[in-house]
Amino acid sequence: MWSYRLDGPLHYERVETPKPDFDAVADGNVVIEFLTGGICGSDIARCLDGGTESHPGPIGLSLHEIVGRVVATNSDLAVGERVVGWVGQSVGLKQYSETEAEALAPLHPDMGEVSGIPLQPLACVLHGLTRVPDDLSGLHCAVIGLGPVGLFYAHALRDRGAASVVGIDVVDRTSLADSFGLDSTEAVISRAWAKRPENQNRFDLVVEVVGHQVGTLQDAITVAAPEGTIIYFGNPDDRFYPIDFGQMMDKHLILQTGRTPQHVRRAAMIRAQEYALRYPDLFETYITHVFGLDEIQTAYEVAAKPSPNRLKVILDARI
């Protein structure tokens, strides 16, 4: 079967590898055939690391957002079903992957294989909001980082009735503000934005969707209003984050963190499909690039470079 191996920072090599044993699928698992896959910012971080400390990296790294067809099963999912969700260990860049069925959900019949890919990041966003009120009426919100996930956060905050949603990113997202429920956007680094007196202690709910360094979390603390909440969603590169804890205490802030746990992923995918069906135009501006597998190197290079006209990049094995 075809597979891809990360043989250096952001560089892929196509290789032939053995198929999984369709007759020996682990309990609770399925084997799925790759139809389409989405490139996430977390994938780029792994790709730039070269995959692992030793090279080349594991076969199939790095892709976890997938739409596939079940070809073997030892679970409640049936052979032939189209499914959407996660590939375990982010090793989905191969023709067939064995992965956990509980991280996948049947793809709604009205959704195509390409348009199904954004359901996975949307599921993460909606799960990330499960610990804040369903009704955000009267609350002023800010999203730091307006990449594909940050824009979904902005849309979901508006869906919950937020009084205002402001977005910050170094890339100018002005043209997308209306599509994703943003009152305003600013193309500026969050440190400079947070230092402005008019932004300090201003927002009831702040979502950090940048990650990979400490500064943006501190910026969220600075702009959070007393009694406010911060959702830290961006992936951390460091195990330990030094922050102004005294400011956290003086403001009585809530800091919420967490990834989407394995055991709730199917429920999160179902919730995302229900949400997307309520907003049938949501993905129109969200999916900006679709590449065939023969363009995989270009696809990852495009996904690695933020730009105003680049959001979700998708790989389609059928073209």
pLDDT band of 238, cuts 50, 70, 90:
confident
Residues above pLDDT 90, as percent of the chain? 91
194 contact partners, CB below 8 Å, separation of at least 6: 200, 218, 219, 220, 222, 223
Lowest mean pLDDT among 94-98, 135-139, 305-309: 305-309
pLDDT classification of 289: cutoffs 50, 70, 90: very high
From residue 191, give the alpha-carbon distance in Å to each of 9, 55, 195, 215, 256: 29, 36, 6, 7, 21
Q: Please state the domain extents for the chain.
A: 2-118+286-316, 123-256
Domains 2-118+286-316 and 123-256 alike in fold: no
| pLDDT interval class at 7 (50, 70, 90) | confident
Work out the mean pLDDT of the chain and round it to a whole number.
Answer: 95
Q: Which residue do the tokens 């009205």 mark?
A: 110
Q: Is the pLDDT of residue 248 over 60?
A: yes
**CATH number for the domain formed by residue range(s) 123-256:** 3.40.50.720
CATH for 2-118+286-316 (3.80.10.10, 3.20.20.220, 1.10.10.10, 3.90.180.10): 3.90.180.10
**Residue 293 to residue 93: CA distance in whole angstroms:** 10
| Per-residue pLDDT tens digits for 46-103 | 888 765 555 666 899 999 999 999 999 999 999 999 999 999 999 999 999 999 999 9
For residues 251 and 228, the answer to whether their CB atoms sit within 8 Å is: yes
Residue 259 has pLDDT above 60, yes or no: yes
Model confidence at 194, in pLDDT bands (50, 70, 90)? very high
Q: How far apart are the first and last CA of the chain?
A: 17
Furthest-apart CA atoms within the chain: distance in Å? 64
Q: Which residue has the tokens 């905050």?
A: 157
Distances (CA, A) of 167 to 141, 290, 306, 310: 9, 26, 16, 17
Q: Please say if the pLDDT value at position 240 is more than 60.
A: yes
Whether residue 301 is predicted with pLDDT greater than 60 in this model: the reply is yes
